[in-house]
A and B are shown apart, each in its own frame.
Chain A
Amino acid sequence: MMGGLTLHLPQFPHSSVHIGLYTSVSNAATIRKELLAGNTRYSYAFVDPRGVLSLAHVLAAVYRALTDMQAGTLRTKTLSSEIVFAFGGTMNIAETLRRFGINDNSDSLLVVKVDTDQMERTNSVWNELEGIIQGTSIPVTDENIEKLTDIETIRKNYKIQQGISLANRSEVTKIVTGAIALRGYL
């Protein structure tokens, strides 16, 4: 089964988190158009991997969206869009979706879907995505995510000062984890 990853966050053992990573994507513009049209088949979080550091970074955003859902404080319409929004360091929804979400020129994609019910539907997620995305599925690993990161995008999106080095990935992941946790509270 392709390179997709399904896991469970320790604090949310009943929710399945599906994460897929795609390169050579040729139909980003179409996907974006369907998303804006509100096509329910496209109920996934489509993230541009240029703004993603590591798997821990993705999980921090998923966790923030899940805790906000539990608290009843979702800012966007669905859990999927909330996950993209949760990546952002600001409360501006449109800007965050533009910065972190899929763009017309995205040639790679990171896709997240959370099933909050206990229904086991791992297969259909990957099948559905295969029908949506024209691209190559690659394994979701830190190495693969790292290859697609644009570190200056990270600096810009999280407004990290020039004095702070971005050389050490696990240190930068710590910085963005804090930014995600405190978004809207700073």
Chain B
Amino acid sequence: MTLFRKLWSFAYPGFSFSHFHRVMATRTLSVMPLGNVTLPSAISEALALTLIAQGAEAQIYFSVEHPFIPATYLTGTNSQPSAGYILKYRPPKRYRHNALDAQLTKHRTLSEARILYKLFLAGISVPQLIAVDPRQGLIWMENIDGQSLKSWIWAQETEMEERQVDEGEDAQAQKRVHIIKPVLLAVGSEIAKLHFLETVHGDLTTSNVLLRDSSRVEAITVTFSDKPMVKDPVIIDFGLAQQSTLPEDKAVDLYVLERAFISTHPIHSEEYVEWVLEGYVAGFGRGKKTAMFKVNEIMRKLDAVRLRGRKRSMVG
């Protein structure tokens, strides 16, 4: 890692890693696409699109404009000002056989769109599905205006550290309970709703949970003694999501999230995971008897997964 950093700063003098991470986390930096993978020209010529994220599988573009509702009519239908739109594009992979590539792109795009729509109908907070083009690997959805859980926690921690001098350890711990805990309880309960519908996310990390700005979190940080306001967590990126009735798969989802907490927020990760799980257990099926049985089973599996890691044992 240190060698990598040295090489990197050699290649890009003046480049700061922490800055890079912060900017990535707020999802505003446009990353140059690797190679010349670009959107179908009919779309890029018609709309002004900004690349905001790039993964191995897809590119995420931001558009101020809706794909089919002109701006003048948009204000008429929605009372809230629009936060823009997201276009997720799975570019063709040249190293795959054309026929196979087309089939995989179509299959994955549709699978993601179907799950997104199903969850939306079930009242889980996910981005609204606007349009799909399975042949070209395109999904249009609404943009969520807000920080990722990861960068939000970072921001909270940084602020608390800065005040450490005049407040001390105890006050900080109490602040975490008042500010971060309610948000993590809500996150856990949202994941529980998802799992209760026998859907697993497949890539549950602190970057794939966004906090919608509907209820202002500034209110929490300022009014310490008052009842804190909870942000509205929205789960994104269902590219690896699946239907599954197995407690095992749900436990793996939770385990992946736990690992994400440990690697991004190492100091208080134990506390954070505990709160998420508390919200999860409380939110799972809302006290139905069969749900209690299921959630106990998932928690048991989670202990097993912790011991052996995400992958199932291939021995025996």
Chain B residues contacting A141 (CB-CB under 8 Å) are 76
B134 on the A face (CB < 8 A): yes
Inter-chain CA distance A178–B79, complex, in Å, is: 20
Query: Secondary structure at chain B's binding surface: helix, strand, loop or mixed?
Result: mixed
A181 on the B face (CB < 8 A): yes
Chain B residues contacting A178 (CB-CB under 8 Å) are 117, 120-121, 128-130
Inter-chain CA distance A142–B74, complex, in Å, is: 11
Residues of chain B in range 17-76 having any CB-CB distance to chain A below 8 Å: 42-43, 46-47, 65-71, 73, 76
Chain A residues contacting B114 (CB-CB under 8 Å) are 182, 185-186
Closest to A54 in B: B77
> Which among A40-48, A60-68, A127-135 touches the partner chain?
A60-68
Contact yes or no, B68 A62, CB < 8 A: yes
Contact yes or no, B131 A71, CB < 8 A: no
Q: How many residues from B make CB contacts under 8 Å with A?
A: 31
Inter-chain CA distance A64–B132, complex, in Å, is: 9
Chain A residues contacting B133 (CB-CB under 8 Å) are 67, 71
Q: Report A16 CB to chain B, min CB distance, Å.
A: 12
Contact yes or no, A56 B77, CB < 8 A: yes
Contact yes or no, B67 A10, CB < 8 A: yes
Query: Secondary structure at chain A's binding surface: helix, strand, loop or mixed?
Result: helix
Closest to B74 in A: A56
Contact with B along A107-146 (1 / 0, CB 8 A): 0000000000000000000000000000000000110000
Contact yes or no, B66 A182, CB < 8 A: no
Chain A residues contacting B130 (CB-CB under 8 Å) are 177-178, 181
Residues of chain B in range 125-144 having any CB-CB distance to chain A below 8 Å: 128-136
Closest to B129 in A: A178
Contact yes or no, A63 B76, CB < 8 A: no
A37 on the B face (CB < 8 A): no
Chain A residues contacting B68 (CB-CB under 8 Å) are 9-12, 59-60, 62-63
Residues of B within 8 A of A (CB): 42-43, 46-47, 65-71, 73, 76-79, 110, 113-114, 117, 120-121, 128-136
Kindly list 15 other residue pairs between chains A and B, CB separation below 8 angstroms, not including A10-B47, A62-B68, A170-B77: A7-B70, A9-B69, A10-B46, A11-B67, A11-B68, A56-B73, A60-B131, A63-B131, A71-B136, A142-B77, A177-B131, A181-B130, A185-B113, A185-B132, A185-B134
Residues of A within 8 A of B (CB): 7-13, 54-56, 59-60, 62-64, 67, 70-71, 73, 141-142, 164, 170, 173-175, 177-179, 181-182, 185-186
13 A–B contact pairs at CB < 8 A?
A10-B65, A11-B46, A54-B77, A56-B73, A56-B77, A59-B68, A63-B131, A141-B76, A177-B129, A177-B130, A178-B121, A185-B110, A185-B132
